[in-house]
Structure 1
């Protein structure tokens, strides 16, 4: 699922709701545009999801359609859509620490975490040295303010949820994540050893998807984290995508289950991690 398709589907759904409001009022698109003082094509662009409506657009729409009681809900929906796709540069413009802190309330209230990583070891399972290497790369790539030390401290503090007794973590990683060099050999050896240790926690289930596993429907996809059945955060190169629509959340549930089915757990997973450590030489 791409970021553009998910946001576009949400915009189209909002457009359909606005179209129903207009049709219920008995107005044509041309008549509504005339009343609102818009170009006659604007209603069509909004209804087909090509132009996102502003708060003022929605207020005018509902006013002229005699549906002002729906304005607040429609505005909230529109704002949520625009918040689905957020560029990393926007969230990290004042530094990485703030981006890490912003996630704390979500982590605290979530009881069931499901994580799939095709890029790096998941943040909750990272060592401080590994996190430092990852965030240094982000600073260099995105030219964000360098507050890596502070951001690492926040992420390490966030890991207390692993041992709180109120959360469960189902984690899936592709085997190549274990063999992708982040930092140097010392950093990687420490990270892989930590992965074996944290996988023994009662709250954590760690699955490793072997590179040679036959792929049916469980093909590699973008990295994502599911927070209960309420929200999915998807990691993209330039941005992160927040999924909250139940149908789309169910799509990620299906994908996670399919990937889980081809992962190895327990001793076989530990063997793959140990082999990755041995390969460091």
Structure 2
């Protein structure tokens, strides 16, 4: 089954309520996965990076402006990385390190955050190099949660997929991206390269 809810409906009261819902998703998921090709995964975003993201969402959709409250909730969600009860496998595209969200200072700070969190026992962070040969076609970003659900964020809507056969394909493609991604020291090298770029931009 696939369900689709337009963002202007889902965010009709602003960003805070939806961020609270996402907190619940992450708290209920002991082992989650996320593939995010073009930006930084929300649970690893700095406050400054998240502020730019949510500001752009509010301005683009014309929804109530509660950006500080939404950002506070996004920061609260990050506690799942530190409570010792969760683990997340996250794959970023190398492009995510270079998509300009807020300018060089915000991006440099974000790269520093990734370098710090790379060592967290709750996180397995991979980065697909821009020149890597892909065994499957690149896909839109998605998250996989316990309870049998994949979640996509499209331009106009949020989409949830719960059909077991479709979920099996999501896990299969995630494994293919994982086989292509760089981890550990190789991932750190890619992040440091991006940090050097933003530090001199």
Q: TM-score, normalised by structure 2?
A: 0.96
RMSD of aligned C-alpha atoms?
Answer: 1.1
CA distance in 2 between counterparts of 1:229 and 1:221 reads: 22
Task: Please name the residue that 1:265 is paired with.
Answer: 183
User: Equivalences for 1:112-261 in 2 at 5 Å?
Assistant: 112-217=31-136, 219-228=137-146, 230-261=148-179
Asked whether the 8 Å contact 2:39–2:95 carries over to 1, the reply is no
CA distance in 2 between counterparts of 1:228 and 1:106 reads: 8
> Unpaired runs of 5+ in structure 1?
1-9, 11-80
Task: Please name the residue that 1:48 is paired with.
Answer: none
Bigger fraction of residues in strand: 2
Q: TM-score, normalised by structure 1?
A: 0.69
Residue-by-residue CA offset, 1:61-99 (whole Å, 9 max, x unaligned): xxxxxxxxxxxxxxxxxxxx5xx1011111111101111
Q: Which runs of 4+ in 1 moved over 2 A?
A: none
CA distance in 2 between counterparts of 1:261 and 1:102 reads: 31
Name the count of aligned residue pairs: 199
Asked whether the 8 Å contact 2:7–2:158 carries over to 1, the reply is yes
Asked whether the 8 Å contact 1:123–1:131 carries over to 2, the reply is yes
User: Equivalences for 1:15-164 in 2 at 5 Å?
Assistant: 84-164=3-83
Q: Decide which structure has the larger Cα Rg and report it.
A: 1
